[in-house]
Amino acid sequence: MPETRGSGLPIALGSALILVCAPAPPAHAQPAPGNNVSVRAIRLDAPLQLDGRLDEAVYRAAPPITDFIQQEPDSGQLATEQTEAWVLFDEDTLYIAARCRLSEPDRIVANEMKRDSPGMFGSESLAVVLDTFYDRRNGFIFIANPLGGMFDATVTNERTPNRDWNTVWDARTSRSEDGWTVEIAIPFKSLRYRPGPTQLWGINMQRRAVWKNEQSFLSPVPASFGMMGMFKVSSAATLTGLEAPSAGIPIELKPYAIADATSDFAAAAPFSNDIGGAFGADLKIGVTQGLTADLTYNTDFAQVEVDEQQVNLTRFNLFFPEKREFFLEGQGIFDFGGGQRPEPNRFFVTGEAFALDAPILFFSRQIGIEDGETVPIDGGGRLTGKAGAFSIGLLNVQTGEAPGAGIDATNFTVVRIKRDVLRRSSVGGIFTRRSVSTEGAGANAVYGLDGVFSFYDDLNVNTYVARTETPGMQGDDMSYRTELHYSGDRWGFTADRLSVGANFNPEIGFVRRDDFRRNYGSFRFSPRPQGIAAVRKFTWEGSVDYITDGAGRLETRLQRGQFVTELESGDLLFAVATDNYEFLKQPFDITDDVTIPVGGYSFVNYRAGYSLAQQKIVSGGVAVDFGRFYGGDKTTLSYFRGRVGVTPQLTLEPSVSFNWIDLPQGSFSTELVATRITYTLTPRMFVAALVQYNSEDNALGSNIRFRWEYQPGSELFVVYTDERDTLNPRPILQNRAFVVKLTRLFRF
């Protein structure tokens, strides 16, 4: 029988008799196996006054939800920094309130106010995860910190987060003698859920007491999930007693108006201060309570921050993440074959956040961007959401012509359907079509079937098979994968077989390399030493990556051993040794002046570094790489994911990467220096500047953005962007743009 948090004591609020916490969910919908926590929502007669002070009568009358359980550092034990929480609702809004106690209040860490900033994860915070369809797989995430900073996201299939998703909600906080308090208000219109007034949801809450690096949850989450614990939707408690309004046919209209002045002095016909303007709109319609249609007209992305520069010393394509709002919502539904699984510590020891060897069959950056040129998006539509056991994603977008770049008007179509099976698994299919292929006359299409199977807490199997159709590219156009992944806290292993044919060509996707067969295996041992007070965990991991081409010739063999020490403070000390073999079938132009000839190359590289925890005033990682490189030598010095919290309002995020390469064919160096400076006036208003210098492109760029959410969902953007050529002693301006964009959200 599920454990009940709180008591079954009835209390009177206004004229209504309210049951604070029922002993069990309704008989017709028992909790999922393994879920042992049940809480009940409290109905209010009137909306809360959202001020974060918790001084209303309900907080004195209703016993709080308590006894949060540690995930880190002592998994399964009561949290040493306890939390008292309430779940409340009225006719229109869901409220989450909490009193976050601290044994040493003067050590509270609160250093980030900007909305949706990754710096929130280095701050004291309360996170709420809502599984509104009670499918134990998908959820909405809302996070607030003591400064009133806000962060929202979605998670799909417990593994794919979308941190760029935004909706209308609010949070207010207050400081107290023994910690801080918070009230969160989420309109029901901002959520999607099953039909019917009586709802059964999953809910979990995560408390981060970062001064002692402690994480705890309302409903326990295995330690093996680490920072991804909030994605573990199947571990959520069962929320009962909630009555949600009928969604009817919710409609959101968001028109925009834009004015700009642009200059391009490097164009074939240079121009200066060309004045322009445009308007457009996004329309969101709730087709059912689970399915949402999004329509867009004359889509514009002027407010999006420019891409962060990268240095590429490989012969493979670079990956840049999607940042455009229209493509971000519901993004996880379109993931295929398990999506990109974030792995703890991966970035620190390899320099990459995700493994990108498997093709991505739908990558939205292929729409509206071609050969580095921006292509106008005339309009499009999307249908995403849940229909019973099915997850549905339909997308159709029409782009216009770009005659100067030789780009034709093109239609893009994506169909993605998944069905939930077993407790936490799914099977599905995908179809994509690009009406104008980039490789030949005619259309490009992709067909695929996949299965994502999750067993117990830590065992996952990902598999897919896919085929493409491209004019003039027949035969060897298949790709398939089977991956077995176990991610326990103490032990872990991965076995992966991946095949990509020479003519496998998903033109609305991303393929880092083609014509290869990959066999990969890794083994990890992560003990938690009891006799070393300063150390939380050691991690030893070894892996072998063996890649051949379609003819069976060895192209890449990568043997890696790594050792990571995680300190109780959250700092990381890491060391990596890599033995690499690369066979070049054709000359590799690593720079404009240096070409590495055809042949096989063996080289060993070493990487060592130290990473400071996010909650510190100065955080980020420093690493040095040194060793052989294609018959020569390479040394790299880098400072990555840097952050300096000057004040809670002012932050600096510097990053530096220097490479010195000495090859038989020539020597060269690369420099990449960037910093983001952010000043946050309120949680809904900030100004940020991103300045980047990349020696590979001889480019110095700046992007300055002012964003004001003047009312929930409605925003004003003022953006300035320029790029300068640094080949001359005095950088010469190449282009610039000044843009003002205003949006207004109407909800019906």
Reported in sequence order, the residue ranges of 287-362 that DSSP labels E, i.e. its strands, are: 291-299
pLDDT of residue 9: 32
Residues 579-597: tens digit of each pLDDT: 999 999 999 999 988 999 9
pLDDT-derived band at 295 (thresholds 50, 70, 90) equals very high
CB 183 within 8 A of CB 50: yes
pLDDT-derived band at 15 (thresholds 50, 70, 90) equals very low
Does pLDDT of 12 surpass 70?
no
- Higher-pLDDT residue of 710 and 35 is 710
Lowest mean pLDDT among 60-69, 103-112, 172-181, 330-339: 330-339
- Residue 647, number of CB atoms within 10 A of its CB: 10
CB 456 within 8 A of CB 430: no
- Residue 15, number of CB atoms within 10 A of its CB: 6
Helices (H), 244-324: none
107-134 average pLDDT score = 91
> Judging by DSSP bridges, how do beta strands 478-487 and 618-629 pair with one another?
unpaired
For 233, phi then psi, to 5°, come to -65, -30
pLDDT of residue 320: 77
3-state secondary structure of 587: coil
273-291 average pLDDT score = 90
pLDDT-derived band at 247 (thresholds 50, 70, 90) equals low
Does pLDDT of 652 surpass 90?
yes
Which of 100, 103, 109 shows the shortest CA–CA distance to 128? 100
Residues 415-438: tens digit of each pLDDT: 999 999 988 899 999 999 999 998
What residue segments make up the domains of the chain, in order of their start?
Answer: 3-243
- Residue 525, number of CB atoms within 10 A of its CB: 13
Sign of torsion, CA 97 99 105 108?
Answer: negative
DSSP 62: S
pLDDT of residue 347: 58
For 210, phi then psi, to 5°, come to -75, -20
CB 656 within 8 A of CB 673: yes
For 665, phi then psi, to 5°, come to -85, -10
CB 254 within 8 A of CB 743: yes
Residues 204-214: tens digit of each pLDDT: 999 999 989 99
DSSP 5: S
CB 111 within 8 A of CB 123: yes
Radius of gyration of the chain (CA): 26
Between the CA of residue 301 and those of 304, 366, 719, what are the distances in Å?
A: 6, 15, 11
Place of tokens 């980020």: 620
Which tokens go with 53? 């002070």
Does pLDDT of 179 surpass 90?
yes
pLDDT of residue 564: 95
The number of angstroms, rounded, from the C-alpha of 533 to the middle of its chain's C-alpha atoms is: 33
Q: What angle do CA 108, 114, 118 make, to 5 degrees?
A: 75
- Residue 716, number of CB atoms within 10 A of its CB: 16
pLDDT of residue 342: 58
For 46, phi then psi, to 5°, come to -145, 155
pLDDT-derived band at 2 (thresholds 50, 70, 90) equals very low
Place of tokens 């990473």: 611
> Judging by DSSP bridges, how do beta strands 595-596 and 588-589 pair with one another?
antiparallel
pLDDT-derived band at 354 (thresholds 50, 70, 90) equals low
pLDDT of residue 589: 92
Report the mean per-residue pLDDT for the chain: 88
Place of tokens 């007669």: 45
CB 38 within 8 A of CB 2: yes
Which tokens go with 414? 């994506």
CATH architecture of 3-243: Sandwich (2.60)
Which of 170, 175, 124, 135 shows the shortest CA–CA distance to 150? 170
- Higher-pLDDT residue of 603 and 333 is 603
- Helix (H) or strand (E) holding 304, with range, is none
5-19 average pLDDT score = 32
pLDDT-derived band at 349 (thresholds 50, 70, 90) equals low
Does pLDDT of 637 surpass 60?
yes
Sign of torsion, CA 680 683 687 689?
Answer: positive
299-305 average pLDDT score = 77
- Higher-pLDDT residue of 4 and 51 is 51
pLDDT of residue 355: 59
Burial (Cβ within 10 Å: 0-12, 13-18, ≥19) of residue 283: middle
For 575, phi then psi, to 5°, come to -145, 135
Burial (Cβ within 10 Å: 0-12, 13-18, ≥19) of residue 531: exposed
268-289 average pLDDT score = 89
CA distance 648 to 683: 11
Place of tokens 């051949």: 548
pTM (two decimals): 0.85
CB 568 within 8 A of CB 574: no
Identity of residue 147:
L
Does pLDDT of 539 surpass 60?
yes
CA distance 74 to 90: 37
